[in-house]
Each structure stands twice: as structure tokens, then as C-alpha cells.
Amino acid sequence: MSEQKPKKKQVHKLTPKQEGFAQDYILTGSASEAYRRNYNAEAMKIDTIHRAAHDLMVNSKVATRIQELQQKIERKYEVTAESIAKEADEDRALARELGQPSAAVAALNLKARLFGLDKQVVSNDPDNPMPTLINVEIVRK
């Protein structure tokens, strides 16, 4: 009677272009730029590039690889979104204390980008349209 070996989990590897996309996404933070760097996009319209980049971002293999790369960076540098946000809050407070409004806004913009709050939100729902303009007021104490 022969002993059966446990089946190995089959790992699906990324294509070289998908791996390059994941690496460049980590480097640039832009899916569209990562797409342009790894695929022939010279003749493509901007919207087509955005859609193709989005398709790669939602591809489970690519998304898993991006997550692996992000975790590797977090472990290497002991940095998380929360730790960066905390430092941005501290930097913003210091900038306001020193009367440096542009530095305070830069820290706020960093925090917004960090949590994906810098993206334009569009609604196609006629019953619940999104405002076309959002007013932000800075209140000084």
C-alpha cells in the first residue's frame, strides 16, 4: 500500500507584467501610473487606462500580491497607516502652532490620501446624487 502525499496548494503566479504592476503600484501609489509603466498604453485613452488599472487592482492574485508587498513594507519600516496618520496630526498641530498654514494643509492632504479620502466620489443614483461641490471651511481658534 503506497502512502499518499498531501496535495500541495496550487499557487497561481502572476505574469511578469502583473508583478511589475504590483511593484510599481507600491512605488507610485497610482494604479494608472503602474499600468502605464508595465503595459503598452501609449495609444490608449485615459479612461481606458483607468479601467484597465482598476481591473488589475480587483484581480484577486494582483490584490493579494499588493497586500503582501504592503505588509512587507510595514514590517520592514514598522509603519502603518495609523502611525503615519498620527505623525501627520502631530505635524499639522506643529505647523498651526508655528503659523504655517500651507504646511498644515499639506499634513491634512497626506492624511486624506492615506485613507483614500482624496478621491472624487460620483453617484449615478438619481435619488441620491452626490454634491458636485463640497465646501470646506477652516476655523481658527
The band of 5, judged by pLDDT with boundaries at 50, 70 and 90, is low
Q: How many CA atoms lie within 13 A of 81 on its CB side?
A: 8
DSSP 25-86: HHHHS-HHHHHHHHS--TTS-HHHHHHHHHHHHHSHHHHHHHHHHHHHHHHHHT--HHHHHH
Residue 19: which pLDDT band, with cuts at 50, 70 and 90?
very high
Q: Give this prediction's pTM.
A: 0.53
27 shares its domain with 54: yes
The reported pLDDT for the residue numbered 66 is 95
Selected residue with higher pLDDT from 41 and 117:
41
Res 116: pLDDT: 76
Q: How confident is the model at residue 10, as a pLDDT? A: 44
Say which CATH number the domain at 58 has.
1.10.10
The pLDDT mean for the chain works out to 82
96-112: pLDDT as tens digits: 899 988 988 888 888 88
Task: Give the per-residue pLDDT at 42.
Answer: 93
More confident of the two residues 75 and 61: 61
51 inside domain: yes
Q: What's the pLDDT at 4?
A: 60
Q: Determine, yes or no, domain membership for 140.
A: no
Give me the number of domains the chain comprises: 2
Domain check: are 69 and 111 in the same one?
A: no
68-92, pLDDT tens digit by residue? 998 998 788 777 778 888 888 898 8
Q: Which structural domain range is residue 63 located in?
A: 14-77
- Same domain for 59 and 105, yes or no, is no
